[in-house]
Amino acid sequence: MGKGRIYEDPVFEYEDPCSGRKVIRLTDYLGHSNHFYFTDPCWFNNDRSFVFTSQRENEGNMFRYDLDDHKITQMTDLKSKGRPGGCVSQVNNAVYYFVGRRLMELKLDSLEERVVSEVGTPYPPGGRANPTADGKYVCSIVTEPLPDTGKKTISYSYSSFVQNFARKPHALIFKVNVENGDWEVVHEDHRSMGHINTSPTQPDIMTFCHEGPWHRIDQRIWGLNIQTKEAWKIREQHGDYSVGHEYWFADGETIGYHGRPRDNSGEHVFGHIKWNNEDHVEVSFPFHSTHFQSFDHTMMVGDGTNCFASDAKPYIQLFKWDGEQYVGPKILSYHRSTFNDQYAHCHPRFTPDGKYVLYSSDLTSYANMYLVEVGDYDTLPGLTEDYVAPHQRR
């Protein structure tokens, strides 16, 4: 195993049992394969290739997937047992990621690597390496680690989520100059922070969140100017709603999010707002998905629920704005994923041309990546209250 190795996983095409759409399973290996988190840039090569994470031969690495010939190329040789991830900068034709304290730049075509910086932050980097729109900086976050109590514990997805929220750890957001490796703190606080997202079009602007159980967070979404270090509330929370899973629209100015009542009763909402809090729109959204993604407000993709939820809706779903309200959902495909860990979270995202949705699912035991064609929205079946999932039919 090593950098540059070529894999040719058998591609499997099938008709979705719910929508009739053609679904393409892109990977097939005895190890988990998943695309990057839905807010993390991954596309390059005129949007015909993307970077993903896979565990192969008992190691976790990053790989290149070429859609035209389904060729898979190993990009790193990290000797990692985890699921390394990064973010692509199309401007720099590179993917950025951390190895310990080293910020790495990996050229997408040559696979040439260089150490951009060995950051001297008080704690080891653990977040994503998020490049700015102009490719001049990479932003990330470090958090004070949990104290060592000497007691053995087992770590699993979200195992310290509530504990981190409650202890209010020291956390820093910093930027690294890609050219010379200099790094600088641009924001710090004593609280759990995460979900850093640089604007895809505005080099100085990014968002981050105050992390924790949604109903307990006073203010989730924050904006940050990495040059002036000014931080501000976005979609100020002063009522009974909790909001989150914010993401940038393609314009790099508008942020989409969804929300629900803090007591988890009543109707959900979907909203979008400019980074400077202008042009705020928030509407009733009587549907549920764990994550949503879109290029604008006109059509969104959601991932429903895991397949074992009491009221399971394990489908990739489409929602459409009709000028007055969101209609749907329509069933695009049956993902039947467990959401057991991040590798099994579907995190659906449109391909850059909007013609397909890319998602991950562990419906066949190991997580794999899937493509499903969007096609004509009106020909898709509606997800009605009495619709029964294939795995629940008798």
pLDDT tens digits along 110-133: 999 999 999 999 999 977 899 999
pLDDT at 1: 59
pLDDT band at 85 (very low <50, low <70, confident <90, very high): confident
Which domains, ranges and CATH numbers included, belong to the chain?
A: 86-148+159-248 (2.130.10.10)
Sequence-separated (6 or more) residues with CB below 8 Å from residue 85: 36, 37, 40, 53, 62, 97, 128
Average per-residue pLDDT in the chain?
A: 94
Q: Is the pLDDT of residue 386 over 90?
A: no
Tokens linked to 300: 């969104």
Listed as own residue / partner, the contacts of 48-54 with beta carbons closer than 8 Å and 24 or more positions apart are 49/108, 50/88, 50/358, 51/75, 51/86, 51/88, 51/95, 51/108, 52/369, 53/83, 53/84, 53/85, 53/343, 54/27, 54/29
- For the residues 351-359, what does the mean pLDDT come to? 98
Tokens linked to 212: 């924790």
pLDDT at 200: 98
pLDDT tens digits along 197-223: 999 999 999 999 999 998 999 999 999
Lowest mean pLDDT among 82-91, 245-254, 346-355, 374-383: 82-91
Q: Is the pLDDT of residue 154 over 90?
A: no
The torsion angle over the Cα atoms of residues 37, 246, 158 and 344, rounded to 10 degrees, is: -40
pLDDT tens digits along 33-66: 999 999 999 999 999 999 999 999 999 999 999 9
pLDDT at 359: 98
Q: Is the pLDDT of residue 180 over 90?
A: yes
> What percentage of the chain exceeds 90 in pLDDT?
79
pLDDT band at 364 (very low <50, low <70, confident <90, very high): very high
d(CA 169, CA 143): 7
> What percentage of the chain exceeds 70 in pLDDT?
99
- For the residues 348-355, what does the mean pLDDT come to? 98
- Does the CA dihedral 326-329-330-335 come out positive or negative? positive
Q: Tell me, what amino acid is at 94?
A: A
Q: Is the pLDDT of residue 297 over 80?
A: yes
Residue whose token pair is 């990290």: 78
pLDDT at 390: 76
